[in-house]
Structure 1
């Protein structure tokens, strides 16, 4: 699946009002924190890293990111391409 296709399909689940961007940003922070918490528990508390739970949390983060980009009229594939350009500058000895 292409990233822009994901972005458009995921948008069908977005219920919005005048506070939609704030809701998206807060959701991103919240679900990003859940990813961090799972990794913390694995690293420092000896808990198993449940891949299915981690995948679900990462999916939530992906959803929020895609919807923030769509709200700002930025195709998600452009976000990915721009990030690869940034990484290429940071790591010039690695072929991306």
Structure 2
């Protein structure tokens, strides 16, 4: 499935999906941004517990559970992008271009968005 196709299919699951004005950030947008942070935190927490409680040994069940959380991250990421009027294929392509530029300039390591 293409990212834009996914982004279109998930609209029906957004209970606040009626975007009135993409130039104004409102409760629905904030709800999605906080959801993205929360779901990302759940992924991190599950990984932390695998390291802490299982000495880093990841089971097939752990992978499945983390995969489900990554699906939630993808949903929120896709919805945040849609609220901003961005399609995921464009976001992904721009990110690849940025990373390729950094690689060509030997700036893949380091910090800062404009390196």
1:88 aligned residue: 100
How far apart, CA to CA, are the structure 1 residues paired with 2:51 and 2:77?
26
**Could you list the runs of 4 or more consecutive aligned residues of structure 1 that deviate by over 2 angstroms after TM superposition?**
none
Give the drift of 1:11. Answer: 1.1
Structure 1 unaligned residues grouped into runs of 5+: none
Structure 2 unaligned residues grouped into runs of 5+: 19-25, 106-115
> Of residues 38, 62, 76 in structure 1, which corresponds to 2:74?
62
Report the secondary structure of 1:69's partner residue.
helix
Give the drift of 1:90. Answer: 2.1
* Structure number with bigger Rg: 2
2:5 aligned residue: 5
TM-score calculated relative to the size of structure 1: 0.88
TM-score calculated relative to the size of structure 2: 0.74
Report the secondary structure of 1:12's partner residue.
helix
Give the drift of 1:12. Answer: 1.0
Give the drift of 1:44. Answer: 2.7
Give the drift of 1:82. Answer: 0.8
Alignment of 1:1-96 (within 5 A): 1-16=1-16, 18-46=26-54, 49=58, 50-92=62-104
- What is the RMSD computed on CA atoms of the aligned residues? 1.7
Moved more, 82-91 or 23-32: 82-91
